Each structure stands twice: as C-alpha cells, then as structure tokens.
Amino acid sequence: ALITGAGRGAGRAHARLLAARGATVVVNDIDEDVARATAADIREAGGKAIALAADITQKLAAEALISQTLAQLGQLDILVHNAGMNYSLTGLEATDDDNFNQLLAINVHAPLYLTRAALPALRQSKAPRVIFINSQWGQVPDGHSYAYMVSKTAQLGLMKTLAKEFVAEGILVNAITPGAILTRMVPDEYVEGEKANIPLGRLVHPEEIAASVAFLASDEAAFISGQVLAVNGGALVVGI
C-alpha cells in the first residue's frame, strides 16, 4: 500500500491501520523526517513500512515514487490519495491564484500522475484499490474557499472517471468525504465553530477515517466502485 501525505495526521492513521492489518506500507510525505518517523513507529509496532519522500505535485517526482515503490515492494495493490495542504477561507475576489494552483496540483494533478504511473502494477494486482481522501466540501460547496472547493470537486470527478474506465478490469476506485478532522489542519480557533455544524457534536478522529480506508481496501468492499463514503457526523443529512 502507498499512502501519500502519510507522515502525520490522518495519513499517518491510515498507514498505521493498514500495516496493522497486514499490508506493507509505503509512507510518502514531502517532509522526509515525518515520513521516516511514521515508518519507524509502524516497524516498532511489528508492522512493515518504508518511507519515501517526494513532492507528488511534480510529474516526474510522482512517477519516480511509483517506480521506487515497485522497486522496494515488487507490487502495488492499494493506492491512497491522502496528501493535502492548508487553504485560504476567501471569497472569489480575494482568491489567491498561487494558492488556487497549488491546491489543484495536490488534489487533482498529483492523483492523476500517480494513478497513471501505477496503472500497470494495479493491473497485475489480485485486489487493486484506489482510494481518495476527499472532503464533505467536495460534495457541498460552502460559498467561499474557492481553491479548496473547486479542487476537491474536481477530484471527485477524477475518481468517478477512473472508476468508470477501469472497473471492468477489476480496479476499484472510491472516495471518502470526511467532515473536519481533528488534526493540525483545523486550527484551534475553528474547532468550536466546526462542532456547531456537526449533528454528532464533534470532529471526526483520524482513526475513524482510517477505518473507512481499511474497509474500502478490504475483501469486504470487493463489489464497491465509483462510490463516495461520507464520514461527517451527519452534517450532510441536516445541511451544513
């Protein structure tokens, strides 16, 4: 399994749980130190993990990451597109072009580069899975944060297009759309406000998202593709 942005936060939880369930995990992060630390934690817990740092928004670096993964593991069965970045809470007129392009790069370009490069290996897998960690805002735009909303909506379009093209080959592609996750990505000053929008009254824990990743990667999800699994405490049911 290759998990991007797995050095910390939710990605780290995905890596730890998949390793605990028997996967050999490649911990990718742009920060080599945190990638190495997470891989070391997994090995100390009895799992199998290696760290590979790369800036996956760069096409050649993304392709090299897949090549390095295959060189180290010999195969690739699970690809988890988890990497993300902070974004500005701004309306259209204040939207920063650089931030807009950066979010398109991490949320759309990087998964496209990686999935395309991984395709030959996924075709050789007995149970290939591609899993996107998207956002509830990919489903329901909030009227601001244009860079984030547009890139996450586009990412869902990428997921569905991949699912439709490759389902006949047995490559299952799905997305998880969490609400606000209790990580450093949500500043302390926003936590209470986020809670007020969630019927269950709290933020989702990284481990809860990881459980959804493990499910979609498992044999129990062998008949699921092109779907969006919302893990948001009921936020979309009542309307955000």
Question: Could you give the residue numbers annotated as active site?
Answer: 148
108 Cβ contact partners less than 8 Å away, ≥ 6 residues apart: 151, 154, 155, 158
CA dist., res. 29 & res. 155, Å (int):
19
d(CA 171, CA 153): 22
Other residues' Cβ atoms within 10 Å of the Cβ of residue 112: 16
Closest CA to 83 of 152, 174, 171, 37: 152
Q: Which two tokens stand for residue 6?
A: 């797995």
Cβ distance 38 to 8 under 8 Å? yes
φ/ψ of residue 84, rounded to 5: -155, -175
